[in-house]
């Protein structure tokens, strides 16, 4: 048990400390965008399950690969919060509350939304490219997938989970997510599974960009401290501190 506890502290310690401090300091005010996303998702689920609201929700948040690209791009941001009709809504709500909430505390709300949108957009664009390639291509999809309604937060959740796990050195967790998505696409091979892989690819690219940016940022701060009269010559040593700016 001591070994498991030690492994858990090593894997999730910094992440859990950041989340706990954020919630203790601000409570629900630490996750306003996440709470808004949960409420919006619940509202859209309610509306789209009504005869008078289904077409409205589809018109503002439903994405399909056979639609004009401009229309799909306009709908993509809201498609994050439109629950898939063939899945229970509580799954989407839990995903948003937990993963978006952790990401909002650890990364800040605008970085959270940026990564979530990038991951979702990657899936949307991949679907169009894959259908154009056709089923004969290793990355292709059959033409019937062009009519699949593509909504829900799953691609955003995958991208955020990998980025936050990497950002806080929970590498085991990131590896589990990557392996799980790889198994999903291997077993099912459907549009959703392949879009998750596209979201993973974008998240890993963003991890690489962040890795390149932070050493430069630390060097700039180190030089500023040395130029400042009486500046300290010692760094924090934290490596990758939480980013809330």
* Count of CB atoms situated within 10 Å of the CB of 156: 30
pLDDT in the model for residue 240: 45
**What is the per-residue pLDDT across 146-172, written as a single tens digit (0 to 9) for each?**
999 989 999 999 999 999 999 999 999
pLDDT in the model for residue 2: 78
pLDDT in the model for residue 229: 52
pLDDT in the model for residue 198: 96
What domains can you pick out in the chain, each with its CATH number?
2-227 (1.20.1540.10)
**What is the per-residue pLDDT across 55-97, written as a single tens digit (0 to 9) for each?**
999 999 999 999 999 999 999 999 999 999 888 999 999 999 9
pLDDT in the model for residue 7: 82
pLDDT in the model for residue 213: 81
Buried b (16+ CB within 10 A) or exposed e, 113-139: bebbbbbbbbbbbbbbebbeeeeeeee
Q: What is the pTM of this model?
A: 0.86
Contact between 103 and 29 under an 8 Å Cβ cutoff? The reply is no
Contact between 203 and 211 under an 8 Å Cβ cutoff? The reply is no
């Amino acid at each position: 048990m001591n070994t498991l506890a030690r492994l858990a502290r090593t894997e999730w310690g910094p992440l859990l400390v950041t989340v706990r401090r954020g919630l203790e300091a601000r409570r629900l005010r630490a996750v306003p965008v996440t709470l808004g996303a949960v409420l919006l998702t619940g509202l859209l689920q309610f509306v789209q399950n009504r005869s008078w609201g289904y077409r409205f929700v589809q018109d503002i948040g439903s994405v399909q690969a056979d639609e004009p690209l401009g229309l799909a791009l306009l709908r993509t941001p809201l498609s994050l919060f439109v629950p898939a009709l063939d899945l229970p809504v509580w799954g989407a709500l839990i995903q948003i509350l937990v993963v978006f909430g952790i990401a909002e505390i650890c990364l800040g709300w605008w970085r959270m939304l940026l990564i979530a949108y990038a991951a979702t957009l990657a899936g949307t664009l991949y679907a169009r490219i894959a259908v154009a390639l056709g089923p004969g291509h290793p990355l292709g999809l059959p033409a019937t997938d062009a009519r699949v309604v593509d909504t829900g937060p799953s691609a955003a959740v995958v991208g955020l989970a990998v980025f936050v796990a990497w950002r806080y050195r929970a590498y085991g967790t990131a590896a589990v997510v990557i392996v799980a998505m790889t198994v999903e696409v291997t077993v099912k091979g459907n549009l959703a599974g392949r879009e998750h892989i596209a979201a993973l690819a974008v998240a890993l690219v963003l991890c690489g960009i962040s890795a390149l940016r932070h050493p430069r940022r630390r060097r700039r701060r180190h030089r500023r401290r040395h130029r400042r009269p009486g500046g300290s010559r010692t760094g924090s040593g934290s490596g990758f501190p939480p980013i809330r700016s």
